[in-house]
Amino acid sequence: MFSKKGYMVIEKTGVDEEKLLNAVLEAGADDLRDDGEHWEVITDPPVFEAVKDAVKALSIEPVTAKVSMLPKNYIKLEGKDATRMLKLMEAVEDHDDVQNVWSNFDIDEKEIEASLA
């Protein structure tokens, strides 16, 4: 359900896609994805630091850079199921003994905003 991967998020503004792609692939990254506003770099954990160094060598500071558990698939949630899941995630994340929380749900931004209102 999840796989351990290096994960970086890089803002698109001022970043040349071709230079970034060449640098991360040459350093050993698995993939460079476009999520609309950001670039997502996916790596195997052993090459994570090398890829991060390659990004920083381009004078780019990642918004996020960590080794994490990434979902292999996503489950779309809507309505009451989405609201319940958001409440559960908030409760789990707020628990003192919890260090990390990973999930594979996909909830539309409008649903998230509606549940917070």
Query: How does pLDDT run across 61-97, given as a tens digit for each residue?
Result: 999 999 999 999 999 999 899 999 999 999 999 999 9
Mean pLDDT of all residues in 29-58: 95
Alpha helices in the chain (DSSP H): 17-27, 48-57, 79-94, 109-116
Tokens of residue 24, six digits: 């991360």
Considering the chain, tell me which residue range(s) the CATH 3.30.70.980 domain(s) occupy. 2-71
Per-residue confidence at 114, pLDDT binned at 50, 70, 90? Answer: confident
Q: Grade residue 56 by pLDDT with cuts at 50, 70 and 90.
A: very high
Please provide the CATH number assigned to the domain covering 2-71.
3.30.70.980
Burial of residue 51, with CB atoms counted within 10 A of its CB: 0-12 exposed, 13-18 middle, 19 or more buried: buried
Q: What residue type is assigned to position 34 of the chain? A: D
